Amino acid sequence: MTSDLLASLAQILQSPPETADDMRQLVDRFAGFLNLDLPEVGAFHAAVPIADGLTADVIEPRGSGPHPVLVYLHGGGWICGNPTSHRKLASRFAEAGYLVINVDYRLAPEHPFPAPFEDCMEAVRWAAREAQRWNGDASRLAVGGDSAGANLSAAVAAALADDPARPRAALLIYGVFDMATVSIEASPPAAPDGLLQVLGPKMVELMLSAYLGSERGDLVRDPRVSPLHAAHRLPPCHLVVGGADPLMNQSEDLANALAKARIAHEHFVDDFMPHGYAQLEMLPPARLAIERMIAFLGKHL
């Protein structure tokens, strides 16, 4: 499988994806590799209905519970990714004792903002109502995700701050938190190429345009899009990003805003790690990062 992975990476370098469909095919190609050696869990329920057109994979931990609950929102630039592409990462939390709701929210460009955000809001509220079906304890509910999923997680957590379904903690894995300052041009000095660098500015702009439109205007300051502007409404947060990730400053800016608002948080930068590394368990920092996330959840749930 490693040789297949290297061959696929070489192909990407020669011909980077240019459309949402290209990205979806790329994610599907890598899903098998990312899901090798799945963790042992109690039970797996695929595509459980939440609402019309909205489902989630429900992953039960072993044991009788009641289990704390994690609503997981996958990454993929709002245009690709799905619960299958992130099954192993989500299952790591189930392995650690969390009932995981791995949400299959709608994707742009077919479903631009606010559809993905609204799906994720609905999924958290649904989890709060229905978690007991799988021995989940909704009073100990967190939300988390990577990349676009971290953006959605922070936006949803802030929007639900006054809701009975409000999350008690948020995992924010190399996310985008201020759309007005997203750039992959200012990469960390001497950083090795990572996924976002390979995709290039053209694909990053395609993702943003698919989700928000080409004329974004004041929308980039909407806290549902740029949750940095609602940092004071967030629950305790765990932020993690790679030192070779062009989005490193996004996490730093949110961490500074959380500190200013006196919101409990942790902020880790894993040296030399590229965007997406939490799913690449052949890289030693990946499992260490996941273990830190689990420890954080244990403190706040």
Residues 79-116 pLDDT 10s: 999 999 999 999 999 999 999 999 999 999 999 999 99
At 237, the amino acid letter reads: C
What pLDDT shows up at residue 9?
A: 54
CB–CB of 114/41 below 8 Å? no
**Residues noted as catalytic:** 147, 245, 275
Of 61 and 195, the structure prediction assigns the larger pLDDT to 61
DSSP string, 185-243: SSPPTTPPP-HHHHHHHHHHHHHHHHHH-S--GGGGG-TTT-GGGGGGG--SEEEEEET
Dist. CA 87–CA 91, nearest whole Å: 6
Whole-model pTM above 0.85? yes
Predicted local distance difference test score (pLDDT) of residue 205? 87
Q: Could you read off the pLDDT of 31-48 as tens digits, one per residue?
A: 999 999 999 999 999 999
100 and 91 Cβ atoms separated by less than 8 Å: yes
Please determine, for residue 195, whether its predicted confidence score (pLDDT) is greater than 80.
no
Q: How many CB atoms lie within 10 A of CB 140?
A: 20
pLDDT band for position 187 (cuts 50, 70, 90): very low
Tokens of 294: 């689990």
In this predicted structure, what is the pLDDT of residue 182? Answer: 86
Distance CA 177, CA 261 (A): 16
Q: What is the pLDDT of residue 194?
A: 45
User: Bigger pLDDT: 8 or 115?
Assistant: 115
Of residues 254, 87, 285, 293, the one with CA closest to residue 170: 293
* Average pLDDT value over all residues in the chain: 91
For a pLDDT cut of 70, what percent of the chain falls above it?
Answer: 89
What is the C-alpha separation between 118 and 156, in angstroms, rounded? Answer: 9
Q: How far are the Cα atoms of 18, 24, 199, 219, 280 from residue 195, in angstroms, in the given order?
A: 14, 15, 6, 26, 12
Residue 203: predicted pLDDT? 81
| % of the chain with per-residue pLDDT over 90 | 81
Asked whether residue 292 carries a pLDDT value surpassing 50, the answer given is yes
- Whether residue 184 has pLDDT greater than 90: no
Alpha carbon separation from 91 to 35, 87, 252 (Å, rounded): 10, 6, 28
Mean pLDDT of 252-275: 97
Give the pLDDT band (50/70/90) at residue 1: very low
Coil/strand/helix, residue 172: strand
Provide the pLDDT confidence category of residue 15 given band limits of 50, 70 and 90.
Answer: low
For 268-275, what is the mean pLDDT? 94
- pLDDT recorded at residue 3: 52
What are 230-260's pLDDT values in tens digits? Answer: 999 999 999 999 999 989 999 999 999 999 9
- Per the CB < 8 A criterion, the answer to whether 167 and 143 are in contact is yes
Handedness of CA 124, 130, 133, 138 (dihedral sign): positive
- What is the per-residue pLDDT for 156? 98
